[in-house]
Amino acid sequence: MRYTLQVQYIGKNYAGSQIQFENGIETETPTIQGELEKAISTLIFGDTENINRRFKTVFSGRTDRGVNSTGQVVHFDTDKPIVASKFVYQLNEILPKDISVSNLKQVDNSFHAQKSAKSRYYRYVFINRKCKNAFDGDLMRIKYDINIERMQKALNYLTGEHDFSSFKSSGTLNPSKVCFIEKAECKKDGDKVIIDIVGNRFLYNMVRTIVGTLLEIEGHNLPAEHMKQVLETCDRKKAGQTASPYGLTLMKVEY
C-alpha cells in the first residue's frame, strides 16, 4: 500500500530535505528525510537499528539547508495497516519540534510524489526596513527602499516557458534547464516583501537567484528589463547573488 503525507518543517537546523551520503554511506548530518524515516520506522517497527527495515520515503522535491516547508509531499510504501488519525498523532509526537506531518492518505501505487507533481509553489519573504526588530528572526533585511511596481514588472518577464540557466546553481544535476513559470508575483505587507512563484519545476537555487537578481535591480536602480536581459543570456554570471535560504518556503505541491 502506498501512502502520502504532507510535511511541514523549519529548515534552519537541517542540511536540507534529502538524506546526505558520502562515499555511498549515509552521513549523520541531520536532514528532514532522515528524521522522518527514523520516526516512521520507530512507530511501525519500534526501532531504527536495522537499516533494511527502515522505511524509505520519496519527496516531491528537495529543499536546501535553511529552507522551510508548509506543503512538502512525501510518499512511502508499507504492508502494515495504518489508521490515519492515530498514525499522524503518534508520528508528530516522535518527530522533532521543528518538523510536523498532516493529511495522511492512501493513494494508488502509480502515484509518485515527485514525478506526479504538476506544479510547485514557493514563497520568499524579506524585511524592507532600515532598523532591525527583535522579531525579524532569520529573515533577510533590505535597508534601501523597494519599488514593488518595478519588481513586478521584472518578474513578469519570467512567466511562461524559458531556459532558466541564468538562475541555476552549479550544483544542478538535471541537464534540462527549461521550466514553465505559471505565476510570479510580489507584494508588500507592511515592512515585509512577499514574492510568490509557481512553476512546474525549479532548478537548484533558482528561486533564491531570482530574488537576488531582483535585489540587484533594486539596489542599483536598474530598469526592470534587466531581468529579461539576464534571462536571455543563459549565463549564471549575469544574474544576482543567491539570496539567503531563510525566508524561502515551499508552500504547496499540486497534482
**Of 64, 138, 145, 196, catalytic:** 64
- Assess contact for 68 and 250: CB atoms under 8 A: yes
Burial of 213 (0-12, 13-18, 19+ CB in 10 A): buried
Closest by Cα among 141, 118, 146, 120 to 131: 141
Distance from C-alpha of 174 to C-alpha of 227, rounded to nearest angstrom: 23
Please, which residues bridge with residue 188 across strands? 193
- Assess contact for 40 and 220: CB atoms under 8 A: no
Cell for 77?
Answer: 510504501
Residue labelled with grid coordinates 507592511 = 190
- Assess contact for 149 and 184: CB atoms under 8 A: no
- Assess contact for 213 and 227: CB atoms under 8 A: yes
Distance from C-alpha of 155 to C-alpha of 169, rounded to nearest angstrom: 19
- Assess contact for 4 and 71: CB atoms under 8 A: no
Closest by Cα among 19, 7, 12 to 244: 12
Please, which residues bridge with residue 68 across strands? 249
163 catalytic per annotation: no
CA 124 to chain centroid: 10
- Residues annotated as catalytic are 64
